[in-house]
């Protein structure tokens, strides 16, 4: 029997891990170069997961797995993460970036029906609209360079594109090889940016640099994207997107506590409205969708083998 749930432990893990990326962006902004941090982050992840990635490619994944995950990596990692980190480095608060990125669910919902054939209920639309209003209120009155808003918009569209592509193609690449292949593409792209900025040599004697790289690897890569792809394979794109509406609450609270980012009345009211909208959208139980395998329909529920 298919279990049904409104909010799961996987969703909770996704919210917590996804929020860590905004903290990492704030930390990276204090280093020599955000591009250098991101290059070493993805290079080390790609090297760590190289055995799993190569094994999957040679054991049946083939060229399709490489190019599909390459596209997912460029959209969901390079665009989404790179734009966020650069925006923070240019002066936009990490909390504001997380709030703007929370518009992703509305874009996903708008495209879910025509692209994926996923029906969005009236209750979900109402909840998404209320949450979007909260995002708009919370992000109002922020002082940041205009380019940072363009960057966050591009990052948002990148994650939406990756979400829809993953669902349309029924990608069933196991989690770890998927992250490894995607990280390889990201490492290559950030390598070019790092070379143009400060070069590729890391500050070996700087513990802060390696702490930030480690933070990104553990929480924002293995944590966030493992939870994201697992949630996406077990539920709808609209449901996963709606769960991401909850990440600004974590991100704003943490950046306020540890980085003294301002916590304005507008931001608090907007977050409260955003939470209410997400609660409405998630209030109806969502069916767990078993993961898909290449060339097949619905498959067995996710298990340990889906990680390797």
**CA–CA separation, 89 and 77 (whole Å):** 17
Residue 163 neighbours by CB under 8 Å, 6+ apart: 76, 104, 108, 232, 237, 240, 241
Rg of the chain over all Cα atoms, to the nearest angstrom? 19
pLDDT digits (tens, 9 = 90+) for 136-177: 787 665 667 889 989 999 999 998 898 888 878 877 788 899
Backbone angles phi, psi at 286, to 5 degrees: -110, 130
In a domain, 75, yes or no: yes
What is the model's pTM?
Answer: 0.78
Judge whether residue 220 has pLDDT over 80. Answer: yes
* pLDDT score for 7: 57
Three-state secondary-structure class, residue 117: coil
* Mean pLDDT of all residues belonging to the chain: 80
**How confident is residue 305, by pLDDT bands cut at 50, 70 and 90?**
very low
Judge whether residue 273 has pLDDT over 50. Answer: yes
**CA–CA separation, 262 and 267 (whole Å):** 9
**CA–CA separation, 214 and 222 (whole Å):** 11
Beta strand extents in the chain (DSSP E only) = 4-5, 286-287
Please state, for a pLDDT cut of 70, what percent of the chain lies above it: 84
In a domain, 290, yes or no: no
Judge whether residue 299 has pLDDT over 80. Answer: no
Q: Which residue segment(s) compose the domain that 74 sits in?
A: 4-284
In a domain, 59, yes or no: yes
- Residue 288 is classified by DSSP as P
In a domain, 302, yes or no: no
Give CB contacts under 8 A, 24+ apart, made by 79-82. 79/154, 79/155, 79/157, 79/158, 79/159, 80/155, 80/156, 80/158, 80/159, 80/162, 81/21, 81/38, 81/155, 81/186, 81/220, 82/38, 82/155, 82/189, 82/190, 82/193
* pLDDT score for 139: 66
**CA–CA separation, 127 and 240 (whole Å):** 14
In a domain, 303, yes or no: no
**CA–CA separation, 66 and 166 (whole Å):** 13
* pLDDT score for 197: 93
Arithmetic mean of pLDDT, 262-272:
81
* pLDDT score for 2: 38
In a domain, 159, yes or no: yes
**CA–CA separation, 53 and 57 (whole Å):** 6
Overall number of domains in the chain: 1
* pLDDT score for 4: 45
* pLDDT score for 289: 39
Residue 47 neighbours by CB under 8 Å, 6+ apart: none
Judge whether residue 108 has pLDDT over 80. Answer: no
Three-state secondary-structure class, residue 297: coil
In a domain, 295, yes or no: no
Judge whether residue 186 has pLDDT over 50. Answer: yes
Q: Which of 105-109, 247-251, 289-293 has the lowest mean pLDDT?
A: 289-293
Neighbours of 47 (CB within 10 A): 13
In a domain, 209, yes or no: yes
Neighbours of 109 (CB within 10 A): 24
């Amino acid at each position: 029997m298919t279990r049904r749930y409104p909010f799961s432990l996987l969703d909770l893990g996704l919210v917590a891990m996804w929020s860590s990326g905004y903290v990492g962006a704030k930390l990276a902004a204090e280093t020599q170069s955000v591009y250098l941090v991101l290059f070493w982050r993805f290079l080390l992840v790609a090297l760590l997961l190289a055995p799993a990635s190569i094994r999957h490619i040679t054991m049946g994944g083939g060229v399709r797995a490489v190019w599909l995950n390459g596209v997912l990596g460029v959209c969901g990692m390079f665009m989404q993460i790179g734009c966020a980190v650069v925006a923070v480095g240019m002066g936009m608060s990490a909390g504001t970036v997380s709030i703007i990125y929370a518009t992703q669910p509305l874009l996903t919902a708008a495209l879910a029906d025509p692209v994926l054939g996923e029906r969005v209920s009236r209750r979900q639309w109402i909840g998404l609209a209320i949450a979007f209003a909260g995002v708009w209120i919370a992000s109002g009155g922020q002082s940041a360079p205009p380019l940072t808003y363009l960057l966050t918009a591009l990052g948002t569209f990148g994650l939406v594109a990756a979400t829809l592509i993953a669902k349309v193609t029924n990608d069933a690449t196991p989690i770890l090889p998927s992250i490894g292949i995607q990280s390889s593409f990201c490492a290559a792209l950030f390598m070019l940016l790092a070379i143009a900025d400060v070069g590729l040599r890391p500050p070996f004697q700087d513990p802060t640099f390696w702490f930030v790289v480690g933070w990104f690897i553990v929480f924002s890569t293995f944590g966030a994207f493992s939870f994201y792809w697992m949630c996406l394979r077990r539920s709808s794109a609209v449901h996963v997107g709606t769960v991401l509406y909850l990440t600004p609450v974590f991100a704003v609270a943490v950046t306020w506590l540890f980085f003294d980012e301002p916590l304005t009345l507008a931001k608090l009211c907007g977050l409260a409205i955003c939470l209410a909208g997400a609660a409405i959208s998630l209030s109806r139980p969502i069916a767990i969708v078993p993961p898909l395998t290449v060339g097949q329909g619905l498959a067995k529920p996710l298990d340990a083998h889906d990680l390797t």
